[in-house]
Amino acid sequence: MTSEIEYFVIAFAVLLFLFGLVSRRISGTVVTAPMIFVAAGMLLSPEGLDLLSFSSSSTPVLSVAELALVLTLFSDASKIELQTLLSEEKLPGRLLIIGTPLTIAFGAIVAAFLLKDITLAEAGLIGAMLSPTDAGLGQAIVNNTKVPAKIRQALNVESGLNDGGAIPFFLFFLILARGEALKWPVGTLIVLAFEQIGIGVLVGAAIGLAGGWLSSKAVRVGWMTGLYRKIGFMSLAVISWLGADFIGGSGFIAAFTGGLITQAAGKIKATEEEIILTEAEGSILSFAVFFIFGITAAARIFLISWPIFIYAVLSLTLIRMIPVAISLIGMKLHTKTVLFLGWFGPRGLASVVLLLIAMEETGGIGGSETLILAVITTVFLSVFVQGATAGPGSEWYSRIVAALPTDAPERKKGGEPSISSDNLDHQT
């Protein structure tokens, strides 16, 4: 490791320990872990106290960020149950299947209209990077039992799965943006994009099938202990990621597919303890990603223009709220429920990791700096504004629901949200 990376690891370890000391004390306040780690990164950056400095495109930094997303994708996919996804009057499914693609499309259209120095492919890239949501930034909502379980479950399931749904779009637009700069034929770019996605799916499915079957068999014959079931679960995520990347596929697609197939292939469902190990590792890494984001954002925070700031505000409001409203047509939900679901779609871990990848891959492309600033501004506002309003917002909405008739759709019983790597200990 270089001295810069060593300083980063020491600083992050100290910060993580100090945060742990006060984690219970700040629980229930408007302060969240992402806020603290982003602020600390900015404070220690060259623009702050000048104690930390490194390139956001350096291999160790990217590896930490990518591993955090891989563990998140695998663990979230491993918990997918179609019955849950399509239950609660199909609320999570509507947000994912209708809302996510519309959010990407709206985000791209507004970016192309408002940000003049980017191409259509770069506009699509912005839309894709800012479509995944992070329930961890609004953990106060998921944990507030006064908010109807079906609403909390919908936000939880959506945030756990829409990052996997956004990645194919991200890859497609990233390849188009790079290809445009290199003047490659459009047909070649489209084939390359589908190759990466297809190889990722095939590798993830193969590893998931083999890993799930072998784990299930080993458990049945008593060869595998509980500890190594947990370790094996995390290992499959890494194998899927690196295996696909090695042969030219998307490691992220492979990780998501691997998690999905592992549970389906292993007749013994992955236990909560197995998933928690992967999520615990992912949670620590996600804090590191927010720390990296703070250092990266500090260098550009004073370069934000009015068009970029306006876009960030629209991304957190209308660009998400309109697709959410469209996806919920016919469900007879209260207008304030739709607004609540639309507002609490914070951008976090997935957007930051995809940004770091885009920074490495699009360096030198004409609109790359505008693209970077748009994502940084949106995530920064989301971490602090949406994170701070999660607690008060959930209390406000719980009072709205309490005043609704007993037969209102919001008040029908629903299942409690399960633990998700997007909300695991982000706040407590």
95-105 pLDDT, tens digit per residue, is 999 999 999 99
State the average pLDDT over residues 151-163. Answer: 85
State the average pLDDT over residues 283-290. Answer: 87
Give the tens place of pLDDT for each residue, 167-207. Answer: 999 999 998 888 766 666 767 777 888 888 999 999 999 99
C-alpha 5: how far from chain center: 25
pLDDT for residue 414: 58
pLDDT for residue 2: 56
Between 223 and 111, the more confident residue is: 111
Domains of the chain: 3-411 (1.20.1530.20)
Residue 415's nearest CA partner among 98, 137, 103, 79 is: 79
Who contacts 397 (Cβ-Cβ below 8 Å, separation ≥6)?
Answer: 147, 151, 336, 337, 340
Using only C-alpha atoms, the chain has a radius of gyration, in whole angstroms, of 21
**What is the model's pTM?**
0.88
Average pLDDT of the chain? 84
| Confidence bin at 427 (pLDDT 50/70/90) | very low
State the average pLDDT over residues 312-332. Answer: 95
pLDDT for residue 234: 80
Who contacts 2 (Cβ-Cβ below 8 Å, separation ≥6)?
Answer: 54
Distance (Å, rounded) from C-alpha 324 to C-alpha 342?
6
Give the tens place of pLDDT for each residue, 323-374. Answer: 999 999 988 899 999 999 999 999 999 999 999 888 888 766 667 889 999 9
Between 233 and 280, the more confident residue is: 233
pLDDT for residue 164: 87
Distance (Å, rounded) from C-alpha 208 to C-alpha 78?
10
